[in-house]
Structure 1
Amino acid sequence: MDTIKNKLNVDMTMKSSQILINGKSFHVLEKGIGPAVLFCHGFPDTARGWISQMEALANAGYYTIALDMRGFGESYAPVMVSEYSALQIVGDLIGVLDALKIPRAVLVGHDWGADHAQRAVLMRPDRFVGLASLSIPFAPRGKISMWDELRQRGLENLYYAFGMMKEGAEMDFLPSRKSIPSILYWLSASPPEGDRWDPINPARHMLRDADILKPEWADSEYIRYTIRAFEKSGFQGGLNHYRGAQLTFDLMPAFKDAVIRQPSIYIWGEADGLCNFFHPNDPTLEDLSTIHPGIVKVVKLLKVGHFPHLEAPERVSQELIEFLGMIYY
């Protein structure tokens, strides 16, 4: 009995460690025992952004893992943009499973983490058995990349990500003690509707001075940790995910028009400017079933912006637990 109790005490404590993936060092957090759930964060974040969900899911009987994605936090951060295609990043996710001896997992991703998780379930359905996407809807690879499509629409000088792809753009995000609170504030539901970040309105950009220490919904320790993480790492690795997006398109013609067949769920905030740009009309289960044949639920969160897992942590955890129960039990 004591042996079992000791094992439970160890496993139910949040564990932080560095693991080797293909010879490169990555930072991971682990908590819980049970079926595996792998969390992938977006920009600008680290694995610690998932703490609330990891704790809730671990308490519900799941083994939760989150990593600092390539280029972020304490993980491997190559300089070359060619090292940031989805093929390399999906390799990182497979490497996490292999290093921790996990045969299969459900993926949960937010922002760029959602985009990479979507590619992962397409490439390795044998290892990734379900998907929860937050704030980024899945779009199958088409004939031209999203970036070329935006250029054809005349948005190259307006759409925010083109500026983030430019050489030296990481300097615009310094110092992190100002940029992190500003980004979290402007992209959330906290500002008045007419002032929130707009992805195609440069006047309402994410780096405006928010004149706040943190949004009212944000945890102070999370803000301090995130600021310190980017003080140490800088923003080049994070922005390389934007810069590598065209390369991902170029390397994946074999996946043209491929759809996601695993069970999936899409969670988004009604005040998220990016979601409203991608789908100005609320997407329905029927709408998304053509590209997600296995989709089981679309969750629209009121009074929530681009960071559902931070702005509405309990609701997101509740939805994930319900979704996971459909897959694993």
Structure 2
Amino acid sequence: MATEMLQTRTIRTDGLTQQVLEGGYEGGDAPLVLLIHGFPELGISWRAQVAALAEAGFHAVAPDMRGYGGTDRPGRTEDHTILHLVGDMVDLVRALGRSTCVVVGHDWGAPVAWHCALMRPDMFTAVAGLSVPFQPRRAKGPPTPAMEALSKRSGRGELYMNQFQAPDTHRMFEADVATALRKGFYAYDGATPTERQSTGFIAPGHDFISEVAEDATLPPWMSEDHFAEYVAAFTGSGFKGPLDWYRCLDLNWSLTAFLQGQKIHQPAMFMVGERDPVRHYAGQHEVGLKDWLTDLRSQTVVPAAGHWLQQERPDIVNPALLDFVKSVHTGYFGE
């Protein structure tokens, strides 16, 4: 299915109105695949995957997540916890008239997908994560103090997730949306030279945006028209909601004690770019994934790729994702 054949619509769920990018057969028994974006992205970041899945016979849906783009934006920070985000996906599956689906997540969407699988294994029958591996709940305490300690040990400055805890951090993104997005995409892209990529640590006197070179360009895969879609969406919706996800990190920890030690038993897959800067601070969680994902069917490092994996390398992501979702729906495809 060509990308121009996809549709965008809004769906009213129990909790909020969600805008989705959608492709494939509606209202029938075509298996549902839900694709969850991260920061600072939108449902359109999955355009190539929605098209490929729809062409293969799946019903593929990529929502703008809570606080992003065309989806509702709750005003309170505490309305962006992992419980809200998983609940939104449960509501969306139900609103689509389905009871089960495969869930796929990238960047922040990956932890949401992992938690969908943890909390509702009856609904989310298989899970795939891109760029951010499953990270079990830390028994020793909430994450932001641990990240502060990691920052001190690194000697490279403050981890950006700690900087994002400040209640007004979103304003630096909103001051010049195009520059903020251009620098963010550039700093985490696989085509960016190593010495110009972000490490995730912010040097004293800098912030997430000023840390990146002023001559940062759009990644090779990002057309001006595609970039304009992001700029228009974030100009309208702002960055408070997306950064509220980060501000709920410690609250998430306090709300999920019931998940301590729990493993994911559904079929799972994980992919990460070889040059993804997130591996500087989350890469240690790639080791031992099989201890937590008991049916891990594949774990792939994509050569030379950066963080924006599904947009940088759809030639690798699409076949791998199709193989995975077909493997858990062999009855439907007669295999």
TM-score by length of structure 2 reads 0.89
Deviation of residue 73 (structure 1)?
0.2
Aligned to 2:333: none
CA distance in structure 2 between the aligned counterparts of 1:32 and 1:310, rounded to whole angstroms: 20
Q: Is residue 2:111 matched to residue 1:119?
A: no
SS of alignment partner, residue 294 of structure 1 = strand
Whether the 8 Å CA contact 2:273–2:306 is kept in 1: the answer is: yes
Aligned to 2:251: 247
Whichever residue aligns with residue 240 of structure 1, its letter is: D
Q: Is residue 2:69 matched to residue 1:73?
A: yes
Whichever residue aligns with residue 80 of structure 1, its letter is: R
Deviation of residue 195 (structure 1)?
1.7
Aligned to 1:172: 172
Across the aligned residues of Structure 1 and Structure 2, the Cα RMSD in angstroms comes to 2.1
Whichever residue aligns with residue 323 of structure 1, its letter is: F
Q: Is residue 2:121 matched to residue 1:128?
A: no
Alignment of 1:75-94 (within 5 A): 75-94=71-90
Aligned to 2:142: 145
Alignment of 1:177-192 (within 5 A): 177-192=178-193
What per-residue deviation string (whole Å, max 9, x for no partner) do you get for residues 98-132 of structure 1?
11101111111011111111111100000001111
Deviation of residue 215 (structure 1)?
1.5
Whichever residue aligns with residue 116 of structure 1, its letter is: V
TM-score by length of structure 1 reads 0.91
Deviation of residue 21 (structure 1)?
1.5
Whether the 8 Å CA contact 1:105–1:127 is kept in 2: the answer is: yes
Note the residue ranges of structure 2 that are not aligned, 5 or more in a row.
331-335
Relative distance call for 1:21 and 1:165 in structure 2 (3 A) is same
SS of alignment partner, residue 39 of structure 1 = strand
Deviation of residue 280 (structure 1)?
5.4
Identity %: 27
CA distance in structure 2 between the aligned counterparts of 1:50 and 1:225, rounded to whole angstroms: 13
Aligned to 1:270: 274
CA distance in structure 2 between the aligned counterparts of 1:194 and 1:86, rounded to whole angstroms: 34
Relative distance call for 1:206 and 1:319 in structure 2 (3 A) is farther
Note the residue ranges of structure 1 that are not aligned, 5 or more in a row.
1-7
CA distance in structure 2 between the aligned counterparts of 1:151 and 1:58, rounded to whole angstroms: 43
What per-residue deviation string (whole Å, max 9, x for no partner) do you get for residues 215-240 of structure 1?
12213322110011001011111101
Deviation of residue 194 (structure 1)?
1.7
Relative distance call for 1:167 and 1:128 in structure 2 (3 A) is same
SS of alignment partner, residue 115 of structure 1 = helix
Deviation of residue 276 (structure 1)?
3.2
CA distance in structure 2 between the aligned counterparts of 1:168 and 1:200, rounded to whole angstroms: 19
SS of alignment partner, residue 293 of structure 2 = coil
Q: 2:18 aligns with which of 18, 23, 26?
A: 26
Aligned to 2:242: 238
CA distance in structure 2 between the aligned counterparts of 1:280 and 1:57, rounded to whole angstroms: 31
Whichever residue aligns with residue 162 of structure 1, its letter is: N
Q: Is residue 2:50 matched to residue 1:54?
A: yes
Whichever residue aligns with residue 169 of structure 1, its letter is: T
Aligned to 1:3: none
Aligned to 1:44: 40
Q: 2:31 aligns with which of 6, 26, 35?
A: 35
CA distance in structure 1 between the aligned counterparts of 2:248 and 2:146, rounded to whole angstroms: 16
Aligned to 2:94: 98
Aligned to 1:197: 198
Whether the 8 Å CA contact 1:187–1:206 is kept in 2: the answer is: no
Relative distance call for 1:277 and 1:23 in structure 2 (3 A) is closer
SS of alignment partner, residue 116 of structure 1 = helix
Aligned to 1:159: 159
CA distance in structure 2 between the aligned counterparts of 1:237 and 1:188, rounded to whole angstroms: 24
Counting matched residue pairs gives: 317
Whichever residue aligns with residue 19 of structure 2, its letter is: H
Aligned to 1:5: none
Relative distance call for 1:94 and 1:39 in structure 2 (3 A) is same
CA distance in structure 2 between the aligned counterparts of 1:244 and 1:328, rounded to whole angstroms: 35
SS of alignment partner, residue 289 of structure 1 = helix
Whichever residue aligns with residue 193 of structure 1, its letter is: T
CA distance in structure 2 between the aligned counterparts of 1:290 and 1:30, rounded to whole angstroms: 34
Relative distance call for 1:253 and 1:179 in structure 2 (3 A) is same
Whichever residue aligns with residue 75 of structure 1, its letter is: T
Whichever residue aligns with residue 146 of structure 1, its letter is: P
Whether the 8 Å CA contact 2:202–2:208 is kept in 1: the answer is: no
Whichever residue aligns with residue 13 of structure 2, its letter is: I
Deviation of residue 209 (structure 1)?
4.0
Q: Is residue 2:227 matched to residue 1:227?
A: no
CA distance in structure 1 between the aligned counterparts of 2:315 and 2:176, rounded to whole angstroms: 31
Deviation of residue 212 (structure 1)?
4.6
Whichever residue aligns with residue 78 of structure 1, its letter is: P
Whether the 8 Å CA contact 2:105–2:113 is kept in 1: the answer is: yes
What per-residue deviation string (whole Å, max 9, x for no partner) do you get for residues 53-87 of structure 1?
11011111111001000000011111211101111
